[in-house]
Amino acid sequence: MDRVRRLLGTKYPIIQGGMAWVATASLAAAVSNAGGLGIVGAGHAPSEWVRQQIRQIRDLTDKPFGVNVMLLSPAVKDVVDVVVSERVPIVTTGAGSPGPYMEALKLAGCKVVPVVASVTLARRLERMGADAIIAEGSEAGGHIGEVSTMALVPQVVDAVAVPVIAAGGIADGRGIAAALMLGAEGVQLGTRFICTTECEAHINYKEAIVGAGERDAVVCGTSIGHPVRALKNQLTRDIAALERQGAGEEELQKLGAGRLRLAFEQGDVLSGSLMAGQSAGLIKDIRPVRELMLSLGEQTEILLGRRIWKD
Ligand code: TUI
């Protein structure tokens, strides 16, 4: 736990997931100011947007922060260039292997913390110089792997010497305490941070998560090798129907394009992609980030029976 706090330079070993569209400078700065690690999600955005967000977060906090590089983005090379030239302290990656960018990021002094969904990739990235590994189970929202958090985290812990951060299905102190029991030294929460005052997502998106039950975050896109978890709605039903008819990648991509933005900006809960994890069923309110962080810390300490978040 102390290894993660030292690596990130934070009070809590708690990272806010670098969610595309949702994780803007407003949310990330609030998390960093509250003692966690706030992350700006580059998603599919152009690199200049990422640069503006980095400048904005530096205006809003003097605490460490990160940027998530989404490796499927067509702008990925330019985004890496921006992250390098802005000397972002922590870089997380998602949806692929950051291997080709590892050297440039390390040379620029960035701490690189890739998200993985397998033991194989965790091992490979440790050899390439990853400073820690985020092991994300299939309970998570958005683009996911196949193995659940409960099974994946201890296997990654056994496979690498660098600190492991658990993600997927965690939304309260019970989840954090459980992840620490699995050998993780930190946690990453995504869906829980959407339901905060400082998150700029449309209120309909936040309220859909608050209203969701344990079976409402479903997976689409498995047939084309891009499983994505989002709240069940007209869009997920249309995608599932196309998949049953054996639709190809192009047709499905066309149907899915721009849908996350529709949910985030317009609050279209029928046709938008409400990416969220299975922890949606656990989330019952929309709260300020500071209040959430304090309660996560307090709940975890009570469960573990000791003070663990010393300043
Ligand atoms: O990246 C995520 N979650 C995401 S990215 C995203 S943007 C998007 N929008 C529309 C369609 C698709 C994506 C939304 N949510 N989480 C981290 C994560 N990475 N989960 C799983 C993985 C992963 C999967 C395979 C990482 C590496 C990987 O490697 C395969 C290989 O090359 O070995």
129-179 pLDDT, tens digit each: 999 999 999 999 999 999 999 999 999 999 999 999 999 999 999 999 999
* Residue ranges lining ligand 1, Cβ < 6 Å: 20, 43, 70, 72, 94-97, 115-117, 121, 136, 142-145, 226, 228, 275
Q: Tell me which residue has its CA closest to atom 28 in ligand 1.
A: 96
Superfamily per CATH, domain 2-200+285-304: Aldolase class I (3.20.20.70)
Give Cα separations from 294 to 26, 111, 173, 289 (angstroms). Answer: 19, 26, 10, 9
> Which atom belonging to ligand 1 lies closest to the Cα atom of 116?
26
What is the pLDDT, as a whole number, of residue 221? Answer: 94
- Ligand 1 centroid to Cα of residue 115, in Å, is 8
- Ligand 1 centroid to Cα of residue 14, in Å, is 20
What is the pLDDT, as a whole number, of residue 48? Answer: 98
Question: Which residue ranges of the chain lie beneath pLDDT 70?
Answer: 1, 310-311
* Tokens (6 digits) for 270: 């029928």
Domain extent listing, the chain = 2-200+285-304, 203-279
pLDDT tens sequence across 214-225: 999 999 999 999
- Ligand 1 centroid to Cα of residue 96, in Å, is 6
Q: Model pTM? A: 0.97
Secondary structure class of 92 (helix, strand, coil): strand
Secondary structure class of 306 (helix, strand, coil): coil
Q: Tell me which residue has its CA closest to atom 3 in ligand 1.
A: 143
Residue to substitute in 19, 113, 143 for testing ligand 1 pocket (most ligand atoms within 8 angstroms of CB)? 143
> Which atom belonging to ligand 1 lies closest to the Cα atom of 121?
33
Distance CA 207, CA 204 (A): 5
* Tokens (6 digits) for 177: 């305490």
> Which atom belonging to ligand 1 lies closest to the Cα atom of 136?
20
What is the pLDDT, as a whole number, of residue 1? Answer: 67
> Which atom belonging to ligand 1 lies closest to the Cα atom of 134?
17
Distance CA 136, CA 153 (A): 8
What is the pLDDT, as a whole number, of residue 306? Answer: 79
